[in-house]
Amino acid sequence: MKGSRAVAALVIGAAGLAGLAGLAGLSACARQGGGPAGPPEDELWVAADSVEGGPTIARAERAELQERVAAGGRIAFHDLHVTHVFSPVTGRVTRVLAQPGQSVRKGSPLVAIQSPDVGSAFSDVVKARADLQQAEAELGRQRRLARVEAATQRELEAAEDAARRAEAEYHRTQQKAALLRSGGLDAVTQEYTLKSFIDGEVIARQVNPGAEVQGQYSGGQAVELFTIGDIRRVWVLADVAEADLPRVAIGADVTAEVAAYPGRVFRGRVDWIAPALDPALRTARVRAEIANDDEALKPEMYAQVSIAAAPRRALAIPRGAITRIGTAAFAYVDVGVAPGRRRAMKRRLIRIADHGGPLVEVTGGLSEGDAVLVERDGPSKQEGGDRVELSDEQFTAAGLEVKALAASDVPDAVELGGRLTFDDLRVTHVFSPVTGRVTRVLARPGQKVRRGTPLAAILSPDVGGAVADVVKAEADLAQASHELQRQQELYEARAGARRDLEAAQATFQKARAELERARAKARLLREGSVDRVTQEYLLASPIDGEVVARNVNPGMEVQGQYASAANPVELFTVGDPGRLLVLADAYEVDLPRLRAGAPVSVRAAATPGRAAAGKIEWVSDVVDPQLRTVKVRCSVDNRERLLRPEMYEPVRIEVPGARLLAVPREALLRVGDETVVFVERSAAGGKHVLERRRVTADEGRAGGLVPISGAVRPGDRVVTRGAIFVLGML
């Protein structure tokens, strides 16, 4: 028997119990002095007259229980649908092409980086190809000489070794260039376009225009620039106790619930069970894949996980038969006839194993066939102490007001704490590309600058070195060109060896590649202004904005970004404070109410009564594992300069309201751990009967109306003013 069939088999109608014509609640006549003595403290006497929705009787019987294993879990990315993007080259970010929350396809551009690695990589390929051609020609020559016994075996082996080394170096440079070609390359500007490797959404971005980035293959400390993921399918990772592992199998049904969506169940199936236990927790990791088409689940959310286990037969009673007192479980068991044609129900301590579902397993305290009292869901029973009767005079004197409960439009807002920061697309951190000494500081804090405006002058040997490299490479190329022409003429006149001609050709190709590399590096320095005579480099602003910070002074020694510096120092921060970002932390329970585009207002403590308006730009798809919050990014208009970056201010986000049963806040009263309202049951014959009802109130909502639920219905007349007076009369 399963589900409702099992419950139906256990519940016995009135005709199934001898001496019972019906069932109802406890008779009160004994307490009024008109009948026999009342029941003992640990008994209930059940009357014969049944009341609809009242208690009933069930027998403890063996039933097939669908067990489930409960475990704590965590939502995680499906690791085949997420990638962490680093830059393969070292250079300066020129354009940011993807925004957080943006959907991207495989191959979509993310960011453009100007890098000397681009020119060097292709220069290395050309030089390696020339070396390989020269080595192969020498090997062919040595083999021909060896066949006519005109060369030694040692010379042949040396030529073979040189050819193998040249081939390996050529393949290495080709592979490095192929990695760069996986993005988009501009050989003229040396701009490398970093692209997405998968389809998905931009989960996070840690880069802004003008930022200097380290390449993954350059030996520096590379920083993750983007996180791209697709959360339409996620994993839930549950930690299952060692004792429960034998009951978990691949393919078992899994349900997960999270705090952000109470009452909503997400379903999946077990697809992997860890082969080893965690030595500290004594648990095993169980993984299930869950469909997440509406992207409600966010990685790093905690989840309550339930895993279906194989069903088994055991002694069970309906869940409604369990009465809890503290941590103990009791059941009221039929022990015979009580006075007044009633049944005596004796309270008995039992042991249970709760696996969820309508039935609860009994492991001790009951025998098969025992009849127990089951409480059905029905209208709430009110005790005498929950009701007050007032005359018309008392009602009027107390200033009570009542209002029929109805659905109202309840406005709502979410209040969050947030940190103000620059818009990362409107700020840049300026480093020096060259090593040298600062000779002049040309920009002051607060100064407005345009792209290309000089910020500082740096006297640097790198400038002279770059210019000298170009001049030297041009001279080497001219010399190699002349030598190649001479060797061609000698070979055509049969006055020169083929070996010399091939060597001249290889030297010419390498000289041309070296010139391209030197020119490419010098082109990067021309982003500023170079004085070839004084070797002075003018550092220029890469964007329009305002000089927010300056960390340089005349005479200061700076390290160059392209000079393999270990700790280059940021010299200037240039940004636009006219539009700022607010990075707010939202709790999981607020996530369903936050949407991109929702209006935002930010009030600074320094300017009371004034607010900056904005909107939500992006809600993160990942929960912070330490703070248990989700990052919400809002853009706000700051043209009046009410706000400053790094301020911590409250953020109010308007969220869609709803039509809910709601009462004024004054109608709600706290009694111990309960929230109650008073409902007028009747007002006839000069009497007003007011009844206390327990409710659940959403008091965290902004505004004067508070949504309630529980023992109230639309149309109930609720005391909206003076309820505290009624409470004092109980």
DSSP structural state of residue 543: S
| Tens of pLDDT, residues 165-177 | 989 988 888 887 7
Q: How many CB atoms lie within 10 A of CB 219?
A: 10
CA angle 329, 335, 337 (to 5 degrees): 140
Beta pairing class for 407-422 and 536-540: unpaired
Tokens standing for residue 133: 């051609």
Q: For the chain, what is the radius of gyration of the CA atoms?
A: 40
CB 42 within 8 A of CB 78: no
Is the pLDDT at 518 greater than 80, yes or no?
Answer: no
| Tens of pLDDT, residues 54-70 | 578 889 999 988 888 88
The mean per-residue pLDDT over the stretch 73-92 comes to 89
CB 16 within 8 A of CB 61: no
| Tens of pLDDT, residues 27-62 | 333 344 444 566 787 888 876 554 444 578 889 999
* Per-residue pLDDT, 180: 73
CA nearest neighbour of 557 among 546, 543, 571 = 571
pLDDT band at 684 (very low <50, low <70, confident <90, very high): low
Tokens standing for residue 410: 């309840």
CA distances in angstroms from 409 to 662, 698, 706, listed in the order given? 9, 14, 11
| Tens of pLDDT, residues 412-426 | 778 888 888 888 888
CA pair distance 155, 500, nearest whole angstrom: 17
CA nearest neighbour of 269 among 286, 283, 257 = 286
| Tens of pLDDT, residues 551-589 | 999 988 888 766 555 567 889 999 888 889 999 998 888
Query: What burial class does residue 156 get, using C-beta atoms within 10 Å of its C-beta: 0-12 exposed, 13-18 middle, 19+ buried?
Result: middle
**Percentage, residues of the chain above pLDDT 70:** 86
Torsion angles phi and psi, residue 711, rounded to 5? -85, 45
Q: Which residue has the higher pLDDT, 119 or 72?
A: 72
- The dihedral through the CA atoms of 259, 260, 263, 264 has a sign that is negative
Strand partners, 291: 233
CB 449 within 8 A of CB 543: no
Is the pLDDT at 475 greater than 80, yes or no?
Answer: yes
DSSP structural state of residue 380: P
The mean per-residue pLDDT over the stretch 340-360 comes to 85
The mean per-residue pLDDT over the stretch 67-80 comes to 91
CA pair distance 434, 529, nearest whole angstrom: 12
* Per-residue pLDDT, 562: 61
| Tens of pLDDT, residues 222-250 | 788 999 999 999 999 999 999 889 989 99
* Per-residue pLDDT, 17: 35
Q: Which residue has the higher pLDDT, 618 or 90?
A: 618
H or E, element range at 174: helix 153-181
> Hey, which bits of 224-382 come out as E strands?
226-229, 233-241, 253-257, 266-273, 283-291, 302-308, 312-318, 323-325, 328-338, 342-353, 359-364, 371-374
CA distances in angstroms from 27 to 38, 218, 348, 536, 597, listed in the order given? 9, 87, 21, 103, 61
Domains along the chain with CATH numbers: 3-65+314-374 (2.40.420.20), 68-79+231-308 (2.40.30.170), 384-410+658-727 (2.40.420.20)
Give me the amino acid identity at 352.
Answer: I
Query: What burial class does residue 188 get, using C-beta atoms within 10 Å of its C-beta: 0-12 exposed, 13-18 middle, 19+ buried?
Result: exposed
CB 430 within 8 A of CB 542: yes
* Per-residue pLDDT, 488: 85
pLDDT band at 315 (very low <50, low <70, confident <90, very high): very high
CA nearest neighbour of 664 among 678, 654, 683, 680 = 678
Tokens standing for residue 641: 């300069």
CA pair distance 587, 579, nearest whole angstrom: 26
Tokens standing for residue 341: 């044609």
Q: Which residue has the higher pLDDT, 410 or 716?
A: 716
The mean per-residue pLDDT over the stretch 65-83 comes to 90
CB 321 within 8 A of CB 372: yes
CA pair distance 672, 99, nearest whole angstrom: 50
pTM > 0.85 = no
Give me the amino acid identity at 694.
Answer: R
CA pair distance 321, 362, nearest whole angstrom: 11
Q: Which of 116-130, 321-335, 506-520 has the highest mean pLDDT?
A: 321-335
pLDDT band at 685 (very low <50, low <70, confident <90, very high): low
| Tens of pLDDT, residues 586-597 | 888 888 888 888
* Per-residue pLDDT, 188: 57
Q: Which residue has the higher pLDDT, 158 or 342?
A: 158
* Per-residue pLDDT, 238: 95
Is the pLDDT at 377 greater than 50, yes or no?
Answer: no
User: How many residues would you count in the chain?
Assistant: 730
Is the pLDDT at 607 greater than 70, yes or no?
Answer: yes
CA nearest neighbour of 396 among 204, 683, 116, 13 = 683
| Tens of pLDDT, residues 533-550 | 566 888 888 888 899 889
Torsion angles phi and psi, residue 694, rounded to 5? -85, 135
Tokens standing for residue 586: 């939202």
CA pair distance 402, 396, nearest whole angstrom: 11
DSSP structural state of residue 190: T
Is the pLDDT at 439 greater than 80, yes or no?
Answer: yes
CA nearest neighbour of 244 among 210, 284, 208 = 284
Is the pLDDT at 355 greater than 80, yes or no?
Answer: no
CA nearest neighbour of 402 among 628, 141, 142, 719 = 719
Is the pLDDT at 682 greater than 60, yes or no?
Answer: yes
**Percentage, residues of the chain above pLDDT 90:** 20
| Tens of pLDDT, residues 192-206 | 888 998 999 999 888
H or E, element range at 470: helix 461-492
Q: Which of 267-276, 303-312, 377-386, 403-412 has the highest mean pLDDT?
A: 267-276
Comparing 5-14, 473-482, 496-505, 681-690, the range with the smallest average pLDDT is 5-14
Residue with tokens 């949504």: 707
Mean pLDDT of the chain: 81
CB 698 within 8 A of CB 646: no
Is the pLDDT at 26 greater than 80, yes or no?
Answer: no
CA pair distance 340, 20, nearest whole angstrom: 11
CA angle 484, 512, 478 (to 5 degrees): 50
* Per-residue pLDDT, 8: 36
pLDDT band at 187 (very low <50, low <70, confident <90, very high): low
Strand partners, 614: 600, 636
Comparing 50-54, 307-311, 483-487, the range with the smallest average pLDDT is 50-54
Q: Which residue has the higher pLDDT, 28 or 133?
A: 133
* Per-residue pLDDT, 527: 53
The mean per-residue pLDDT over the stretch 378-404 comes to 71
